[in-house]
């Protein structure tokens, strides 16, 4: 049975105006949540289906049922429940149940950070499972807070919109199963097991977060870590609250769960900002499925032309980006909602109008900004730039100071200052301002020079290639900007300013990590693009058959482009190399030719089909004023093959960022984990990044060993030091893989303990540096026979030996 009643203080489903019927636009009339159990079950079926699909994929990837159950409990008890209660207390009126739960989950992540800091600092890790009681008990006992347990007045999404959102979640789950979950084991199973090279490092940071506030560098005991490490605090809490082994969290649970959360928060944010229910799943699809336009297969690290790609590196190989995405998207949502207070309906022109958050928007902004600040360092600068553009637009239009913008900006700027000063200690990681420093190599002139016109054309071509590579998903914003003649609402200025600021920062700030500014701008651009596409789609007024034809055409074009790229990309690249430049493929712009060539071919094809459409529309009235949305759909589809090609590539070859992780090393480290205290320090002779680096007695040239600290969950006196902030600052933000250790005396002491031990050396390690175990990796070098006489051997599997100092 449906009702039209709402909770106290909630807006009625009709938008608060008596006698005005509720708009449709993806809604089930104006009804609030309610009804029979069978009907409620039917409405929750999309969410249940998406969850069961993910569970099935996790089971197929050898995840234990108990781990899935514990993670489900942890997510509900430790994140969603406390976060939802607090979010409901901060927002003014309810909108949809999905919005409450998803914003609540992100709010729970913020609360979790505070709980983590208190628990670890106080040494109360063993009782971490009870921290949500600090929220649950007041909301159960205080009369004014009890109403937030069961608010009413929710509006409902149509089943079509719900199933579409569930389908995007399912798409991300299938994708990550193909490229990640099914590729790497939780723990090494034999001596040839492989994994992504940075995974032990990320594992070691999560382990360190279980013991230290703030974090330290586990590979160099006691070295401060000036880095965006909030991700690893979350992983630590997952272990402490859910009692789930960290390797399971890292290799199975975190990535697909946060991908799903990212889809859901993007859905509700886009719906809230645009006022259109269907903008939600569309924005999520644009963000997570429309990738780079490269026309290259396979797309290996060597073929990345403009930094980190948005698809592959979005989650599984950059845990900090995985964790930061939902926080940033939630921040986009609350800031855009706050901008509704300074003019412009901000989405109220759409049929899916959402009530404003109210004064709680400032608290939510501060919370999400603070959590985002040290989740990914590139997020807040982009958001601040967008807010500055919106504020300037308001000042120009109203000729007065928009204090709401000032308040929102102050919250974000304060969070940025906190991260810069407290977390990062003003460390720049080697990034520096060099305009076009990341891309000018593509237009570098030969010794004999180029004509001015040719050089200018090449510069323009490189910038076009950059747009194609990362900005295809922004095409939907073009009709919105064109139709409004840049007379935008504050929220639209905010989205546009941030969408431009991200890639602009990459063009101005030199360094590989600057590409994360581009990626951080993508949620802003995806919402703006979905907004523009929805408006164009609405103006086209397509009949049902036309909508079906458009959808089928987009899927067919995706399949065609994917097949063409897979089948002919190598042939196309060879053809271009032979018929351009010097014919050898050695010109600096050569890597950009495949994308530019295909883009030129599609531009010509689009022009011809556009002329044909115009001619046909003279006789077929049904085609008039509808060519634009067809062209726009085709343009957005150009970025869709990347996702499918990524999945195919993952099945055909091992990613070149993976390396051997022998089971002998993992087993030895796990033995230490079971036979030591968290405060124990280890020493090792293993300093090279991967097992194969120890070849024929050659000296190590890549000091990125992380396996021991990662799988033992203990700090190491000196393991691998290439990621230490003090060295990365000298390497333009990259790992200082070949730099020697900075403390020569300490390093010599460490090495002598293995190759020339004496009672005095071992005593100094144990007394002065708190070393309990010496861990020998015999591939790196056989230990001195004297070590057996000076220390107690407690573990030996032939490849790795462990000695205890006392």
* Tally of helices (H runs) and strands (E runs) in the chain: 31, 13
Count other C-beta atoms under 10 Å from residue 674's C-beta: 7
- Decide: 310 and 319 in contact? Cβ < 8 Å: no
- Decide: 31 and 4 in contact? Cβ < 8 Å: yes
User: Quick check: 33 pLDDT over 80?
Assistant: no
- The residue behind tokens 């449906």 is 2
Q: Is 278 helix (H, G, I), strand (E, B) or coil?
A: coil
In which element (H, E) is residue 740 found?
none
Report how far residue 211's alpha carbon sits from residue 678's, in angstroms, rounded to the nearest whole number: 7
> What is residue 732's predicted lDDT score, i.e. its pLDDT?
59
Nearest to 582 by CA among 572, 593, 571, 595: 593
- Decide: 222 and 228 in contact? Cβ < 8 Å: no
* Reported confidence tier of residue 5, pLDDT bands at 50, 70, 90: very low
Report how far residue 71's alpha carbon sits from residue 66's, in angstroms, rounded to the nearest whole number: 8
- The residue behind tokens 């090494």 is 188
> What is residue 348's predicted lDDT score, i.e. its pLDDT?
53
Nearest to 187 by CA among 686, 606, 551, 711: 711
- Give tens-digit pLDDT for 394-441: 999 988 999 999 999 999 999 999 999 999 888 777 678 999 999 999
Report how far residue 161's alpha carbon sits from residue 167's, in angstroms, rounded to the nearest whole number: 10
Count other C-beta atoms under 10 Å from residue 703's C-beta: 25
Average pLDDT over residues 763-790: 94
List phi, psi (to 5°) of 229. Answer: -110, 10
Percent of the chain with pLDDT over 70: 91
Report how far residue 455's alpha carbon sits from residue 457's, in angstroms, rounded to the nearest whole number: 5
User: Quick check: 344 pLDDT over 80?
Assistant: no
Mean pLDDT score of the chain: 89
Count other C-beta atoms under 10 Å from residue 695's C-beta: 10
Q: Is 566 helix (H, G, I), strand (E, B) or coil?
A: helix
> What is residue 315's predicted lDDT score, i.e. its pLDDT?
66
Q: Where are the beta strands (DSSP E) in 541-647?
A: none
Report how far residue 108's alpha carbon sits from residue 94's, in angstroms, rounded to the nearest whole number: 18
> What is residue 27's predicted lDDT score, i.e. its pLDDT?
36
> What is residue 456's predicted lDDT score, i.e. its pLDDT?
94
- Decide: 331 and 372 in contact? Cβ < 8 Å: yes
DSSP characters for 123-189?
Answer: T-GGGGGGTTHHHHHHHHH-HHHHGGGS----EEE-HHHHHHHHHHHHHHHHHHIIIIITTS-SS--
Average pLDDT over residues 60-66: 97
Nearest to 488 by CA among 388, 344, 274: 344
- The residue behind tokens 């573990």 is 795
Report how far residue 303's alpha carbon sits from residue 245's, in angstroms, rounded to the nearest whole number: 36
Residues contacting residue 425 through CB under 8 Å, at least 6 positions apart: 224, 226, 725
Average pLDDT over residues 295-313: 80
> Packing angle between helix 490-508 and helix 477-484, nearest 10 degrees?
120
> What is residue 417's predicted lDDT score, i.e. its pLDDT?
95
Q: Is 686 helix (H, G, I), strand (E, B) or coil?
A: coil
Average pLDDT over residues 117-125: 96
User: Quick check: 10 pLDDT over 50?
Assistant: no
- Give tens-digit pLDDT for 676-720: 999 999 999 999 876 665 665 666 778 889 999 999 999 999 999
Q: How far is CA 805 from the centre of its chain?
A: 43
> What is residue 576's predicted lDDT score, i.e. its pLDDT?
81
Percent of the chain with pLDDT over 90: 70
- Give tens-digit pLDDT for 345-383: 555 566 778 999 999 999 999 999 999 999 999 999 999
Structure token digits, residue 734: 């990259």
Report how far residue 348's alpha carbon sits from residue 39's, in angstroms, rounded to the nearest whole number: 29
More confidently predicted of 9 and 362:
362
- Give tens-digit pLDDT for 446-498: 878 889 999 999 999 999 999 988 889 999 999 999 998 888 999 999 999 99
Average pLDDT over residues 732-757: 86
User: Quick check: 30 pLDDT over 60?
Assistant: no
Report how far residue 388's alpha carbon sits from residue 70's, in angstroms, rounded to the nearest whole number: 43
- Give tens-digit pLDDT for 555-574: 999 999 999 999 999 898 88
Whole-number Cα distances in Å, 104 to 40, 83, 291, 327 = 21, 4, 29, 11
* Reported confidence tier of residue 56, pLDDT bands at 50, 70, 90: very high
- Give tens-digit pLDDT for 82-100: 999 999 999 999 999 999 9
Q: Is the pTM of this model over 0.75?
A: yes
């Amino acid at each position: 049975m449906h009702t039209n009643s709402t909770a106290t203080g909630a807006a009625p489903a009709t938008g608060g105006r008596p006698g005005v019927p509720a708009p449709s636009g993806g809604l089930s009339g104006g009804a609030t949540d309610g009804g029979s159990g069978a009907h409620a079950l039917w409405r929750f079926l999309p969410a249940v289906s998406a969850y069961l699909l993910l569970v099935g994929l996790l089971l197929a990837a050898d995840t234990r049922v108990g781990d899935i159950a514990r993670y489900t409990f942890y997510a509900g008890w430790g994140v969603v429940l406390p976060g939802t209660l607090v979010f409901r207390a901060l927002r003014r009126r309810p909108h949809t149940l999905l919005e409450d739960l998803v914003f609540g989950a992100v709010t729970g992540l913020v609360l979790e950070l505070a709980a983590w800091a208190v628990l670890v600092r106080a040494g109360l890790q063993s009782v971490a499972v009870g921290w949500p009681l600090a929220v649950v008990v007041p909301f159960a006992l205080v009369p004014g807070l009890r109403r937030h347990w069961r608010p009413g007045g929710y509006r409902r999404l149509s089943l079509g919109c719900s199933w579409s959102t569930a389908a995007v979640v399912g798409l991300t789950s299938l994708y990550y199963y193909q490229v990640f979950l099914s590729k790497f084991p939780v723990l090494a199973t034999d001596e040839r097991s492989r994994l992504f090279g940075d995974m032990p490092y990320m594992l070691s940071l999560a382990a360190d977060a279980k013991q230290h506030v703030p974090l330290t560098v586990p590979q160099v005991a006691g070295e401060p870590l000036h880095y965006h490490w909030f991700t690893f605090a979350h992983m630590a809490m997952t272990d402490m609250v859910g009692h789930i082994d960290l390797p399971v969290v890292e290799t199975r649970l975190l990535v697909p769960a946060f991908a799903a959360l990212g889809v859901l928060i993007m859905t509700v944010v886009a719906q809230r900002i645009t006022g259109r229910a269907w903008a939600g799943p569309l924005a999520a699809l644009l963000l997570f499925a429309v990738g780079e336009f490269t026309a290259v297969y396979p797309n290996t690290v060597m073929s990345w032309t403009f930094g980190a790609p948005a698809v592959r590196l979005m989650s599984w190989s950059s845990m900090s980006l995985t964790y930061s995405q939902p926080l940033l998207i939630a921040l986009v949502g609350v800031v855009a909602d706050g901008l509704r207070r300074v003019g412009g309906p901000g989405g109220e022109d759409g049929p899916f109008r959402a009530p404003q958050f109210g004064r709680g928007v400032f608290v939510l902004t501060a919370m999400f900004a603070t959590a985002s600040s040290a989740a990914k360092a590139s997020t807040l600068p982009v958001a601040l730039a967008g807010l500055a553009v919106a504020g300037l637009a308001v000042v120009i239009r109203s000729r007065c100071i928009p204090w709401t913008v000032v308040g929102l900006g102050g919250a974000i700027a304060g969070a940025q200052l906190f991260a810069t000063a407290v977390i990062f200690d003003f460390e720049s990681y080697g990034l520096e301002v060099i305009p076009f420093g990341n891309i000018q190599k593509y237009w570098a002139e030969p010794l004999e020079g180029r004509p001015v016109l040719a050089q200018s054309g090449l510069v323009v071509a490189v910038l076009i290639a950059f747009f194609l590579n990362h900005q295809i998903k922004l095409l939907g914003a073009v009709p919105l900007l064109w139709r409004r003649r840049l007379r935008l609402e504050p929220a639209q200025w905010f989205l546009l300013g941030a969408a431009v600021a991200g890639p602009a920062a990459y063009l101005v700030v030199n360094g590989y990590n600057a590409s994360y500014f581009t990626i951080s701008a993508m949620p802003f651009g995806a919402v703006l693009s979905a907004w523009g596409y929805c408006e164009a789609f609405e103006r086209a007024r397509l009949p049902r058959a036309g909508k079906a034809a458009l959808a089928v055409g987009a899927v067919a074009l995706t399949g065609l482009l994917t097949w063409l790229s897979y089948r002919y990309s190598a042939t196309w690249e060879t053809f271009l190399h032979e018929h351009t430049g010097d014919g050898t493929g050695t010109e600096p712009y050569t890597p950009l030719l495949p994308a530019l060539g295909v883009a030129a071919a599609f531009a010509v094809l689009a022009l011809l089909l556009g002329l044909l459409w115009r001619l046909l529309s003279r006789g077929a009235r049904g085609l008039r004023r509808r060519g634009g949305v067809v062209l726009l759909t085709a343009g957005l589809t150009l970025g869709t093959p990347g996702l499918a090609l990524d999945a195919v590539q993952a099945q055909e070859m091992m990613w070149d960022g993976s390396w051997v992780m022998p089971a002998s090393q993992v087993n030895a480290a796990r033995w230490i984990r079971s036979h030591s205290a968290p405060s124990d320090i280890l020493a090792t002779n293993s300093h090279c990044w991967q097992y194969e680096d120890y070849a024929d007695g050659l000296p190590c040239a890549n000091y990125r060993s992380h396996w021991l600290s990662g799988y033992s969950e203990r700090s190491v006196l000196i393991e691998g030091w290439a990621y230490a902030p003090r060295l990365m600052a000298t390497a333009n933000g990259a790992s200082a893989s070949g730099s020697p250790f900075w403390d020569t005396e300490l390093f010599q002491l460490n090495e002598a303990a293995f190759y020339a031990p004496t009672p005095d050396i071992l005593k100094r390690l144990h007394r002065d540096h708190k070393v309990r175990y010496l861990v020998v990796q015999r591939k790196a070098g056989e230990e001195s026979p004297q070590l057996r006489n000076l220390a107690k051997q407690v573990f030996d599997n032939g490849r790795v030996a462990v000695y205890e100092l006392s």
